Amino acid sequence: MRTKLVSARSKAGLQEDYSVKGAIRRARSGSRVESNESMLDSQGNVNAGSRKELVERLAGVIDDIIEGRIERTASMATSDEETTHEQERLVTAALADRTMDPNGAFAVMGETIGDAIWETTGRLGFARKFLFKMDVPRGQEGRFRVRQKNVVSWIITKDTFIPRSVVNQPWIYPEVVTIAGHVTISDNENATSPIEFMDEKFQDGLEAQMVREDNLVRYLFTQAAPVFNDVYTFTDLTPALWSSMQLQVQRWGLPVPHAVMAIDLWTDIRTNSDFLAAYEPVSKLQLIEEGRLGKLYDTEIYTDGLRYDTLRVLEPGEIFFLANPIGLGGIAEYEPLQTEPVSLHHVGISARGWYLWQSAGYAVGNSRGVCWGYRTS
């Protein structure tokens, strides 16, 4: 499985459908000009003859996504070469398997969905993009070294209460928490739904796992941000404000490689000539699909606004500036995402599916590494 962007008209992937022309969005005026050239070349690059044109084309792509001319999909195919027949064979065998055998086709389908969720979470999820990840061997305790003295750390505990911890030793030990959920198929769905409905189950799994993990880490960011740094409110995002928020983290000797923002702030960047003079846009379709918008003042910009609505975690007008993962915090992973087939028939529910769970410890080890701002009306 993988997520990708497709034409709303043809339902084909943007890189496969050269009839998708897209548009150029003029930065200053915001006017939309239809293009006569294919949006992408054969290598998955946005077609543009200059940096200025690339910025305008990228603005057009993002606006097309927001306004529905380009759609976000989840494909059951593990690659573009996988045939429809192979997909149908896999799903048909799984739905026909009523044995609940841990080695049967239904269990294998659960593992396939779990692997896809795990891969997508690593590629799209904020938690695993912005925090350092360490694998904890069985029987050992996960811990993170704090490289700066007199810091305040925040950790997730089992009841999701987030305690503040003033660190006087060079290590923090986040508690192990389990993120769990069910992805179920009713007997009616099993009998009547088309093969493609398994893509919806993939989305359900992402909501159960990736979104919950990202929400936990976003909450850690909001708790850590006010401890040492100012929290900014604004009506418009400007270059001066951007630099001030960067400086909040940089003044502690921490680089700021990442900023993650709500998609509505994109308009502030696109319509400001000073922003555009410094903006370095992405050109690869794959990077756009992963939520990367480009770079401003040496900080990479990410957004969750190119995901499905149900997979977003940021509030409108919200932005975080983040230190590099080793100076910010981490995820101590005890058990990666697991799946197990389950039946609900024994409790009188006509459904079956898979139980999903993963166990890890989450911590922002250095509150100085987060600056938070948001738009006010």
Walking along the chain (377 residues) 10 residues at a time, the average pLDDT comes out as 63 60 60 67 78 83 79 58 64 83 86 83 86 88 70 63 57 85 86 75 84 92 94 96 97 95 92 90 85 93 87 94 92 91 90 91 90 93
Side-chain half-sphere of 2: how many Cα atoms within 13 Å?
Answer: 14
Q: Which phi and psi (to 5°) does residue 214 adopt?
A: -65, -40
Output b/e per residue, 129-157; b: 16+ Cβ within 10 A.
bbbbeeebeeeeebbbebebeebbbbbbe
Q: Of 226, 284, 251, 271, which Cα lies nearest the Cα of 5? A: 284
Residues 59 and 89: their CA atoms lie apart, in Å, by 40
pLDDT of residue 52: 83
C-alpha gyration radius of the chain: 22
For tokens 């995901």, name the residue.
307
Q: Of 376, 215, 205, 240, which Cα lies nearest the Cα of 304? A: 215
Q: Where are the domains of the chain?
A: 115-262+304-377
Assign 3-class secondary structure to the chain.
Answer: CEEEEEECCCCCECCCCCCCCCEEECCCCCCEEECCCCCECCCCEECCCCHHHHHHHHHHHHHHHHHCCEEEEEECCCCCCCCHHHHHHHHHHHHHCCCCCCCCHHHHHHHHHHHHHHHHHHHHCCHHHHCEEEECCCCCCCCEECCCCCEEEEECCCCCCCCEEEECCCEECCCCEEEEEEEEEEHHHHHHCCCCHHHHHHHHHHHHHHHHHHHHHHHHHHHHHHHHCCCEEECCCCHHHHHHHHHHHHCCCCCCCEEEECHHHHHHHHCCHHHHHHCEECCEHHHHHCCEEEEECCEEEEECCCCCHHHCCCCCCEEEEECCHHHHEEEEEEEEEEEEEEECHHHCCCEEEEEEEEEEEEEECCHHHEEEEEECC
pLDDT of residue 1: 46
Measured over the CA atoms of residue 284, residue 287, residue 289 and residue 293, the dihedral's sign is: negative
Q: Are 80 and 13 in contact (CB under 8 A)?
A: yes
Question: 25: which 2 tokens?
Answer: 């969005």
Quick one: residue 194, left, alpha or beta (phi over 0 = left, psi -120 to 50 = alpha)?
Answer: beta
Q: CA torsion angle for 69, 74, 78, 84 (degrees, to 10)?
A: -80
